[in-house]
Amino acid sequence: MTPEFLLVASLLSPVAGGILILAAGRSPGARDILMVAAAVVTAVFTLMLAARVLDGARPVLTLHQLMPGLPIGFAVEPLGMIFAAVAGTLWPITAVYSIGYMRGNHEAHQTRFHFCFALAIVSALALAYSDGLLSMFIAYEVLTLSTYPLVTHSGTKEAMKAGRTYLGILLGTSIGFQLTAIIGVYVLAGTVAFTAGGVLPDGLSPALLGLLLGLFAYGIGKVALMPLHAWLPAAMVAPTPVSALLHAVAVVKGGAFAVVKVVAYTLGADRLSAAGANDWLVWVASASIVIASSIALTQDHLKRRLAYSTVSQLAYVTLAAAIMAPLSLVGAAMHIAAHAVGKITLFFAAGSIHTAAHKDYVSQLDGIGRRMPWTMGAFVLATLSMIGLPPAVGFTSKWFILEGAVSRDQWIAVAALGASTLLNAAYFLPIVWRAFFRAPVAAKSVGAAAPHGGDGHHDHGEAPLPMVLAILATAGLTFLLFLYPDPVLALAEAMAGTVTQGGLR
- Quick one: CA torsion of 376, 377, 382, 386, rounded to 10 degrees? 80
Q: Determine which of 136-140, 276-280, 382-386 has the lowest per-residue pLDDT on average.
A: 276-280
Burial track 257-273 (b if 16+ CB lie within 10 A, e otherwise): bbbbbbbbbbbbbbbbb
Residue range 409-419, pLDDT digits in tens = 999 999 999 99
Tell me which residue of 320, 307, 316, 384 sits closest to 347, measured CA to CA.
307
pLDDT digits (tens, 9 = 90+) for 8-46: 999 999 999 999 988 887 788 888 899 899 999 999 999
Q: Are 289 and 420 in contact (CB under 8 A)?
A: yes
Mean pLDDT, rounded, for 295-316: 92
Selected residue with higher pLDDT from 352 and 453: 352
Interval 474-491 mean pLDDT: 94
Q: Given pLDDT bands bounded at 50, 70 and 90, which one contains residue 151?
A: confident
**505 within domain boundaries:** no
pLDDT of residue 142: 93
> Is residue 504 one of the residues assigned to a domain?
no
Averaged pLDDT, 312-329? 92
Radius of gyration over every alpha carbon of the chain, rounded to an integer in angstroms: 22
The answer to whether residue 505 scores a pLDDT higher than 80 is no
Instruction: Measure the CA–CA gap between 339 and 345, rounded to whole angstroms.
Output: 10
Task: Say if 279 falls within a structural domain.
Answer: yes
User: Average per-residue pLDDT in the chain?
Assistant: 88
Q: What is the pLDDT of residues 258-303, one digit of tens each?
A: 999 999 999 998 888 888 888 899 999 999 999 999 999 999 999 8
Q: What are phi and psi of 121, to 5 degrees?
A: -65, -45
**422: buried, middle or exposed (CB in 10 Å: 19+, 13-18, 0-12)?**
exposed
Distances (CA, A) of 133 to 129, 401, 486: 11, 26, 29
**What are the Cα distances from residue 201, in Å, to 84, 219, 263, 266, 268?**
30, 22, 15, 11, 10
Fill in the amino acid letter for 468: V
How many domains, the chain?
Answer: 1
Residue 250 lies in a domain: yes
293 found inside a domain: yes
CA distance 437 to 291: 29
Q: Amino acid identity, residue 241?
A: P
Is the model more confident about 245 or about 145?
Answer: 145
**Is residue 66 included in any domain, yes or no?**
yes
Residue 136 lies in a domain: yes
pLDDT for the residue 340:
92
Residue 220 has pLDDT above 50, yes or no: yes
Q: Which of 91-100, 212-221, 246-255 has the highest mean pLDDT?
A: 212-221
Is residue 123's pLDDT more than 50? yes
CB 216 within 8 A of CB 308: no
Length of the chain equals 505
CA angle 302, 308, 313 (to 5 degrees): 120
- What digits encode the pLDDT tens for the residues 57-75? 999 999 888 888 888 999 9
The pLDDT tens digits for 441-453 are 665 544 444 445 4
DSSP 443: P
199-to-38, 254, 281, 324, 458 alpha-carbon distances in Å? 37, 22, 21, 16, 59
Q: Are 123 and 146 in contact (CB under 8 A)?
A: yes
Question: Helical H runs in 105-228?
Answer: 110-129, 133-151, 157-173, 179-189, 206-219
Residue type, 313: Q
Predicted confidence at residue 129, as pLDDT, reads: 96
pLDDT tens-digit series, residues 227-269: 888 888 887 777 777 777 777 778 888 999 999 999 999 999 8
Domain that holds residue 133: 3-499
Instruction: State the pLDDT at residue 153.
Output: 74
